[in-house]
Amino acid sequence: MKALSQKRRHPLAAIALLLLGLLVTGGLYAVTTTVNQAKADTTSFSASDVEEGGKLFAANCATCHGMGASGSTAGPSLVGVGAAAVDFQVGTGRMPMQMNGPQAMQKPAQFNEEQTRQLAAYVATLGPGPSIPEAGLLDEQGDSAKGGELFRTNCAMCHNAAAAGGALTRGKFAPGLAGVSGTHIYEAMVTGPQNMPVFSDANITPEGKRDIITFLKQIEANGSPGGADLGALGPVSEGLFVWIAGLGVIIAFTIWLTSRTS
């Protein structure tokens, strides 16, 4: 008993317990991360897709992102970004960038769908990451009401409650979501492009993402039944329109009255 008591009071006991706690915590985190990545990495590609994607990458992307996508001073590493990030950035024309700026601008895609898939296949082999979403999550048959709640809670502060987009800091902006495919909306949520945060399955479940896409496509299809939406920017644009139009009518009426009396 005396020997055990002395071991408990050993000066290195606290350090040993601290190291043990760090090891256990790190191990649990690593296991949890691996499980989440394995769930996301469900898309499989053929060997020919990977090979052709590697050639396309070397010819068009390695200048900035480095050989093997390890990154350089001109572009970040792509190891671990997953196929979804490539499909979003290349499929929307944001990559390759046309010029340096506050954020990559959307433009006509430089690569066709097959080439985009091949680039995604190559980058997917470099490390685990989010995959291109399955068709079942993009059928626009989710719960629109729940999707609206999730969108207003997580997305509306940047993209506007009507998904019309909005300005951010230092020349950056959250784009409008009208006309954006469900695939790219889902991929943006799981990869977090530009200033957008990453919404993992722990934040918003795949079913929740499906609901959001359903909501966005529904409001896009409904249009503006009440008349001109004035950019869907809310009371600011509406109030400005009323002020300018009302003031214009008053000025015109005043001019008409004075001309009549003279």
| Residues 6+ positions from 41 with CB-CB distance below 8 Å | 82, 124, 128, 129, 130, 131
136 vs 125: CA distance, rounded Å: 24
SS3 70: coil
**65 labelled ligand-binding:** yes
Reduced to 3 states, what is the DSSP secondary structure of residue 173? strand
Distance CA 124, CA 120 (A): 6
Is 16 within any annotated ligand binding site? no
130: which DSSP letter?
Answer: P
Q: Indicate the Cα dihedral angle 66, 72, 75, 77, nearest 10°.
A: 70
- Compute the Cα dihedral for 167, 170, 171, 172 and give only its sign: negative
Q: Does 158 carry a binding-site annotation?
A: yes
H or E stretch at 191: helix 182-191
Asked if 138 and 211 count as a contact pair (C-beta separation under 8 A), the reply is no
Q: Which residues contact 49 (CB under 8 A, 6 or more apart)?
A: 117, 118, 121, 122
**Which DSSP helix (H) or strand (E) runs through 167?**
strand 166-167
Residues annotated within a binding site: 61, 64-65, 155, 158-159
Known binding-site residue numbers for heme c: 61, 64-65, 155, 158-159
